[in-house]
Amino acid sequence: MQINDELVVSIEKLSNLGFGIAKSEGFVIFVENACPQDVVKIKITKLNKNYANAKISGFITPSPHRVEPFCPMQKVCGACQLQFIDYDYQLELKREIVQDAMNKIGHLDIEIPKPVPSPQIKAFRHKIQYPVAQTKVSKRLLAGYYKPQTHDIVNIKYCPIQPEICDKIIEFVRATAPTCGVSGYDEKHHAGDLRHIVIRNSASTGENLVVLVVNSNQNNENFSKLAKCIFDKFDEVSGVCLNFNPKKTNVIMSNDTLCICGTPTINEKILDKTFMIGANTFFQVNPKSAENIFRYVKEYIADNFESPVVLDAYAGVSSFGICVSDVCKTVVSVEENKSSTDLARKIAALNSISNVEINNMDAGKFFAAEKRKFDTVILDPPRKGCTVQSLDEAVRLCKDTIIYVSCNPATLARDLKYLTEKGCRVESIQPFDMFCHTFHIENVAVIKV
């Protein structure tokens, strides 16, 4: 097999990164934009010792699950890898991804159910982060998602997976920034002003918080002028902030944010609780799907415990702790980010919640110092999962059940394998579709210690 070779293959399944998997004489080939049950002509684009990469050059027999993407930019934009597959089959493919991870990485003999679907598959994304650049000749601003495997910006005027108001705000910023003397960012030379446009949109109120991420460590007259123009233009915008990020980094936002106009937070409703979301607040991008997860966890606790004491680790703004608080005696919340714990205290007060104890501390250090025992421990770590030390301490502190919420099947499977080797038993794993039209899938695992 050589690069540029053309073959006819059948797509057998989907990889955990969303590529179609085919085989030629036993050799594995990862095919872009392929769907299981496709029979396709492919061209080899990259060759490695153990596998190859390829692109589709023609169809022999398209999969019956192929559909026309509802977004005309799907083929060039890297945001919705699976939009050409019908939604019900997307859920089945995600179930298979989780099943494979649990079998092959976790060595678990457990049947994974179909994911709980997202209540919306359009306009579901309520956090938008567009990188910004500027054309060399016309100096026109570009804002959108990156093309797959590149840092070339697809200039997106309409995105059907986000609320329509976000398109209007971004188009206004594109047109208005140059008139305010604000240039687009040049990543190659680390020059220019506006690096990203970030919008937090509330599914429950329609409010929008606009964050302009700038290549500077301080405000200036041009930035303030642009912020005021945005605030004055849109009644739906409750606040405009500047985030100062002068470092040469791929990290989108720094911790240095200044509110220029309006309020620095918006409100979101999850179950019957009101949450405040700021520029740097971690909060699920799909609030309606997140609500399904919070309800699932809350109902499990209510059905299996009477007035339990619960530990909410990696808590962010204590979303889980606050949502389950009214079926608990006490919730102890742990989060290392101080701005998140400060906001969590305000959210608890806003909801008149007095039984959530909020701790600003690294979860691992908190575990090691804690002497209390908890009926349930909720773990909601970042994609990299938990450390071995954190898992050991969670088992030590837990009297009955660990509820592990994960956005990465591979690290979840790894951590569940470790826990089962320590004598724990995985009772159930339920996937939830938080990130429609992508290969990402959220899971809630219930583990008995």
Asked if residue 87 is part of any domain, the answer here is no
Query: Do 298 and 441 sit in the same domain of this protein?
Result: yes
What is the distance between the alpha carbons of residues 305 and 318, in angstroms, rounded to a whole number? 20
Average pLDDT of span 388-409: 96
What is the distance between the alpha carbons of residues 405 and 392, in angstroms, rounded to a whole number? 17
Residue 147: what pLDDT?
A: 87
Query: Do 437 and 321 sit in the same domain of this protein?
Result: yes
**CATH number of the structural domain spanning residue 21:** 2.40.50.140
User: Model confidence at 246, in pLDDT bands (50, 70, 90)?
Assistant: very high
Structure tokens at 445: 């695992």
**CATH number of the structural domain spanning residue 104:** 3.40.50.150
Q: Long-range CB contacts (< 8 A, 24+ apart) of 134-140?
A: 134/183, 134/184, 134/185, 134/186, 134/192, 139/178, 139/183, 139/184, 140/174, 140/178
Query: Do 261 and 291 sit in the same domain of this protein?
Result: no
What is the distance between the alpha carbons of residues 242 and 426, in angstroms, rounded to a whole number? 45
Q: Are residues 382 and 315 in contact, defined by beta-carbon separation less than 8 angstroms?
A: no
Residue 448: what pLDDT?
A: 98
Residue 1: what pLDDT?
A: 85
How does pLDDT run across 266-283, given as a tens digit for each residue?
Answer: 999 999 999 999 999 989
Residue 78: what pLDDT?
A: 79
User: How many C-beta atoms surround the C-beta of residue 403 within 10 A?
Assistant: 22
Residue 273: what pLDDT?
A: 97
Query: Do 333 and 396 sit in the same domain of this protein?
Result: yes
Residue 364: what pLDDT?
A: 86
Residue 46: what pLDDT?
A: 95
What is the distance between the alpha carbons of residues 89 and 35, in angstroms, rounded to a whole number? 10
The DSSP secondary-structure symbol of 187 reads T
Asked if residue 277 is part of any domain, the answer here is no
User: Model confidence at 392, in pLDDT bands (50, 70, 90)?
Assistant: very high
Residue 417: what pLDDT?
A: 98
Residue 251: what pLDDT?
A: 94
- The CA-atom distances, in angstroms, between 120 and each of 124, 386, 436 are 6, 30, 9
Query: Do 105 and 132 sit in the same domain of this protein?
Result: no
How does pLDDT run across 178-202, given as a tens digit for each residue?
Answer: 999 999 999 999 999 999 999 999 9
Query: Do 255 and 219 sit in the same domain of this protein?
Result: yes
Residue 148: what pLDDT?
A: 82
Query: Do 296 and 439 sit in the same domain of this protein?
Result: yes
**CATH number of the structural domain spanning residue 254:** 2.40.50.1070
Residue 75: what pLDDT?
A: 86
Q: How many domains does the chain have?
A: 3
Could you list the active site residues? 407
What is the distance between the alpha carbons of residues 318 and 333, in angstroms, rounded to a whole number? 6
Structure tokens at 276: 């405040």
Asked if residue 330 is part of any domain, the answer here is yes
Average pLDDT of span 197-226: 97
Query: Do 426 and 301 sit in the same domain of this protein?
Result: yes
Q: State the chain's mean pLDDT as an integer.
A: 96
Asked if residue 249 is part of any domain, the answer here is yes
Average pLDDT of span 228-232: 98
Query: Do 101 and 149 sit in the same domain of this protein?
Result: no
Quote the pTM value.
Answer: 0.93
How does pLDDT run across 1-17, given as a tens digit for each residue?
Answer: 899 999 999 999 999 99
Q: Are residues 414 and 106 in contact, defined by beta-carbon separation less than 8 angstroms?
A: yes
Query: Do 355 and 373 sit in the same domain of this protein?
Result: yes
Question: Comparing 145-159, 247-261, 307-321, which segment has the lowest mean pLDDT?
Answer: 145-159
Phi and psi angles of residue 110, each rounded to the nearest 5 degrees, phi first? -140, 140
User: Model confidence at 393, in pLDDT bands (50, 70, 90)?
Assistant: very high
Quote the domain boundaries for residue 233: 127-270
Query: Do 315 and 369 sit in the same domain of this protein?
Result: yes
How does pLDDT run across 72-121, given as a tens digit for each residue?
Answer: 999 888 789 999 999 999 999 999 999 999 999 999 999 999 999 999 99
What is the distance between the alpha carbons of residues 340 and 280, in angstroms, rounded to a whole number? 8
Residue 411: what pLDDT?
A: 98
